[in-house]
Amino acid sequence: MERKLNKQNMFLYRFTQAAAWIVSKAFFKRKVVRNELKGKKGPIVVIANHQAALDFVNLISSVRQPMRFVISNSFYKTMPVKGIMTKIGVIPKQQFQTSLKDMHSMKAVIDSNEILAIYPAGLMCEDGISTPIPIATYRFLQWLQADIYVAKTSGTYFCTPKWSKKNRAGRTYLDIYKLFSKEELATLSNEEIRERADEALLFDAYREQETLKVKYCHGDNIEGLENVLYLCPHCKREYTVRVRDKHTIYCTECGFAEKSDKYGFLHKEGEVGEELRYVSDWSRLVHDDLKARMSDGECAELSCGTKFLTVNEKKKKFVESGEGTVTLTADKFILSGTMNGEEICLEIPSKMFPSLPFKPGKYIEIQHNDDIIRCMLDDGKLAMKFINMLKINHEIFEDEHCHV
């Protein structure tokens, strides 16, 4: 299957670059550590880590050569500037799913000796820990047959945390370097590719911050973090965690409390429990506790009442289309209720998904064929538990079936 690329509108592309440059300098205060892409021509694939929704701003403003970005289909369909994105050459695809059409669209970029930019994790992180990268990604990189460069961003997680309603300006860094030549890539095993790519792309933003020590504007405001860290690390109760006075996260049951500082680190207050300095460590504890309980036969499935929202192509936004229940089992989502005036009972395989788009405390998004279904949960605090269960099911699936 050969696909023809639409020609990029270079006036619009340069305008987008200029706008991104302003944001990257004024808000992200972006500093380029090195740029080994300077002066290079395609075919090239740039793989980038994904700390925040606007990571592409730093990348597109730092590389003079035109690139074609692969973006979320959900983002693409709900943007009022969808037409402009098409003209500058973006390639929309479903997150965590790659169809033959998507593969050939991306291969067409390489076959045209251009530069393709991909965020393999597919999703910004919610806790400073990179979203797992699907195993198939490494095979796909080899199939593309091109030089591979890494664009590693640091600090953007703290500027626009997924759990917060507030943005906070501060220094960020971008390091662009060559990871594989086309010739070397062809000689490596999938495991060797995975090891080196993971080393380049995976991160813990809080441990990076120990070295960077950047202060972010309002960086100690942790309102919303309770939607991610929903389990108390001391008494192990769920949904007893709250935030008070913008800076203190605490448990209403046992009194465990920590206060944040301008760097985003946590410091224990009072005598209850042990200090957890990093949000990422607390999040791992939440994940591991749930995984242990699932292994013991608890939490076999999770259900919640929900409103269903789907994309209105004309309005370019999600609109309410029904209501019902969303259930996650070990291997599928079950959506039951009404949608667009009809009774539904959809079963959507889930174990191949390492994660899904979601908003802590609000919703999860499930892709079904070409449709994107946003489940606006009646009990928003369950959103993070749905995502943690999904991640654990995927880990179990990979351990049992997938070996590269």
pLDDT reported for residue 266: 98
pLDDT reported for residue 136: 81
- Sign of the torsion angle spanned by Cα atoms 6, 10, 15, 18: positive
Q: What is the pLDDT along the chain (404 residues), one digit of tens a residue?
A: 455 678 899 999 999 999 999 999 999 999 999 999 999 998 999 999 999 989 999 999 999 999 999 987 777 777 767 678 888 989 888 766 667 788 888 999 999 999 999 999 888 999 999 987 877 888 889 999 999 999 999 999 999 999 999 999 999 999 999 999 999 999 999 889 999 999 999 999 999 999 999 999 999 999 999 999 999 999 999 999 999 999 999 999 999 999 999 999 999 999 999 999 999 999 999 999 999 999 888 888 999 999 999 988 888 889 999 999 999 999 999 999 999 999 999 999 998 888 899 999 999 999 888 789 999 999 999 999 999 999 999 888 877 765 44
The half-sphere exposure of 325 on its side-chain side, counting CA atoms within 13 A, is 10
CB 44 within 8 A of CB 35: no
**CATH code matching the domain that covers 302-399, chosen among 2.30.29.30, 1.10.10.10, 4.10.490.10, 2.40.290.10:** 2.30.29.30
Record the tokens describing residue 139, joined without a space: 């095979």
CB 83 within 8 A of CB 12: no
pLDDT reported for residue 1: 47
CB 358 within 8 A of CB 383: yes
Domain 10-212: give its CATH code.
3.40.1130.10
pLDDT reported for residue 269: 95
Residues of the chain with CATH 3.40.1130.10: 10-212
Orientation of helix 205-212 relative to helix 279-295, angle to 10°: 160
Residues 6+ apart with CB under 8 A from 55: 48, 49, 119, 124, 153, 156
pLDDT reported for residue 153: 96
Report the predicted TM-score, pTM, of the whole model to 2 decimal places.
0.92
pLDDT reported for residue 365: 95
Residues of the chain with CATH 2.30.29.30: 302-399
CA-based max dimension of the chain: 65
> To 5 degrees, how large is the angle CA 127–CA 256–CA 364?
30
